[in-house]
Structure 1
């Protein structure tokens, strides 16, 4: 047969989950982004695609961890409840973030992971990471980078959103939420969730949101979504910083 008649075939992935991994929009940012198609075909049986509705739990604090999770779509909150029943939201995670990294050390999960929006995650078992990292040390390096990123996010949340004047904390929260924008809109936490995020009363959170609407910092087409006007938000943050 003449070479002119030979049509090169694209590598085919025969397992649906392997194809999902290959086509995933966050694959190049994910832990296994370095793997080629053949490697994805080999690990597909270990990875599960999980979908959650708002309010559903991904995992619970103190549960024995056997897997970490990569967020493909949506927003997940990490939260803890004190012995007195007080809930604190520690941070938010979105597209390409990895959750439950403590499971890679065989530890229990440190917080509850709960879906804020419709969420799609990939479950990555610890045993799979252990097996792959023997031949691919770059996976362990990537894992450490993700762990550091999670620590940095937690530190930022603690310093920027849990201390200082209430208005400053609310402005910083809106700036953080803008990172999760989808089609020009951001998910807007309920006032109770804002209270648990920012260590303020529900009444204070409601008053500040109403005030920022009047100032043109954001519009809220409904109770769970907002359009943030970035120029106005950054101006408000500069003015707030100048006064403090």
Structure 2
């Protein structure tokens, strides 16, 4: 489980010169607040918050929450990339989708359900833990929060369906190219991306380790993919898009 920074209540400060508790001020000034769940809240809305929000930091490989664990909170990703994955009874692991900056994960908790998948950090991750009881308190007073939750639920469903249709069907090369395009959505403007292991690529794309390795080697020879270290690489987007276009013409 992730280590947590000190939890600070989001109660208004008694100091008249400081209308909000420090953590409330952090929330109001957060760079992703307009894209996050509480983006629907005004400053006055923050005054109604009476529970705790915790800042979490995860190292690569650390788990944010586990499948079948009691869902008591949702999480907003502020930085980094998470993977949502499940393991079958036979021990086979499948990566269902990724989550990145501004994404809300663990939505099952809103309904009091257990988490449906393991959430594991691919890179260093910063996230905010939002207790379910806090959401329950806000909903009667802020319909915008309810609408935002519905939009995020739909987006998570769309992402899962896209993963199923785009990354597990078609030729092996097409799947790999689509994966690189997807990873670029969570990467840096300069084309720097998190690079999964060959095993993880296989789990994402329903490919064998050998096939994933062969495809990565081919992309390196084409100078489309430039690994920088074991877990990061740079993608040539122009070559990637041209390759995708050519692949789609061959396999419409």
Moved over 6 A (4+): none
- Residue 66 of structure 1 is matched in structure 2 by 72
2:223 is matched with which residue?
A: 216
Match of 1:195 among 182, 202, 219: 202
- If each structure's helix is expressed as a fraction of its own residues, which one has the higher value? 1
TM-score (norm. length: structure 2): 0.89
> CA 1:14/1:134 → structure 2, altered by over 3 Å: closer, same or farther?
closer
Alignment map for 1:126-145 (pairs within 5 Å): 126-145=132-151
Classify 1:220/1:208 alpha carbon distance in 2 versus 1 (closer, same or farther; 3 Å).
same
8 Å contact 2:63–2:118 — kept in the other structure?
A: yes
Provide the C-alpha distance between the structure 1 equivalents of 2:21 and 2:51, rounded to a whole number of angstroms.
9
Find 1:226's aligned residue among 224, 233, 239: 233
User: Cα 1:116–1:80, aligned 2, differ >3 Å: closer, same or farther?
Assistant: same
Mapping for residues 134-213 of structure 1, pairs under 5 Å: 134-182=140-188, 184=190, 185-213=192-220
Q: State the Cα distance separating 1:45 from its structure 2 match.
A: 4.2
- Maintained 8 Å contact 2:76/2:127: yes
Structure possessing the higher radius of gyration over alpha carbons: 1
Asked if 1:30 corresponds to 2:51, the answer is no
**Given the superposition, is the C-alpha separation of residues 37 and 12 from structure 1 closer, same or farther in structure 2, using an over 3 Å criterion?**
farther
1:7: which partner in 2? Answer: none
Give the gaps of 5 or more residues in structure 2: 1-16
Written as runs of structure 1 = structure 2, the 5 A alignment for 1:116-135 is 116-135=122-141
2:77 and 2:128 in contact (8 A); partners too = yes
TM-score by length of 1: 0.92
Q: Is the 8 A contact 1:13 1:41 kept in 2?
A: no
